[in-house]
């Protein structure tokens, strides 16, 4: 098998589809740069555990807290955008029901993603 430099440089946490290509799907809830920083902090904690277990656990807890805070912020922003898109629409107006149906689908998909966590 030949070495694939492009594939080797892609982040390991990216979902893969058929033939090793990135799978299509929804965007991650936490931005890539934030995910990388949190993963780096967690990696440092894991590596430091043998020498300083208490400090490592505190670092791991901090990484977890940061990840949950980023997730909460991302979800709040998604909710704000979704609500902004439908709250002033009239369900009786022509063409509006399609937009409202789309908003409902987005809520359903996001909620289902959360339930799979």
Judge whether 60 and 42 are in contact, CB under 8 Å.
yes
Specify the pLDDT at position 11: 53
Q: Is residue 8 part of a domain?
A: no
Q: Is residue 6 part of a domain?
A: no
Q: Is residue 13 part of a domain?
A: no
pLDDT category of residue 93 using cuts at 50, 70 and 90? confident
pLDDT at 97 over 80: yes
**How does pLDDT run across 14-53, given as a tens digit for each residue?**
544 445 555 567 788 899 999 999 999 999 999 999 999 9
Q: Is residue 18 part of a domain?
A: no
Mean pLDDT of 59-70: 97
Q: Is residue 104 part of a domain?
A: yes
Q: Is residue 9 part of a domain?
A: no
The SS3 assignment for 30 reads coil
pTM flag (> 0.75): no
pLDDT category of residue 10 using cuts at 50, 70 and 90? low
Q: Is residue 12 part of a domain?
A: no
Q: Is residue 85 part of a domain?
A: yes
Please tell me the total count of domains within the chain.
Answer: 1
* Alpha carbon distances (Å) from 17 to 32, 33, 59, 117: 19, 22, 33, 20
- Residue 52: give the domain boundaries: 27-115
Share of the chain above pLDDT 70, in %: 79
């Amino acid at each position: 098998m030949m070495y694939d430099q492009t594939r080797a440089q892609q982040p390991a946490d990216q979902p893969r589809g058929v033939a090793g290509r990135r799978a299509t799907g929804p965007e991650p809830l936490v931005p890539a740069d934030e995910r990388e920083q949190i993963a780096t902090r967690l990696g440092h904690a894991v590596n430091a555990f043998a020498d300083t277990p208490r400090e490592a656990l505190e670092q791991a807890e901090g990484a977890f807290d940061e990840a949950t805070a980023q997730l909460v912020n991302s979800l709040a922003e998604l909710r704000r955008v979704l609500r902004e898109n439908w709250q002033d629409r009239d369900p009786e107006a022509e063409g509006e029901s399609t937009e409202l149906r789309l908003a409902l689908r987005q809520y359903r998909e996001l909620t289902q993603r959360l339930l799979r966590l």
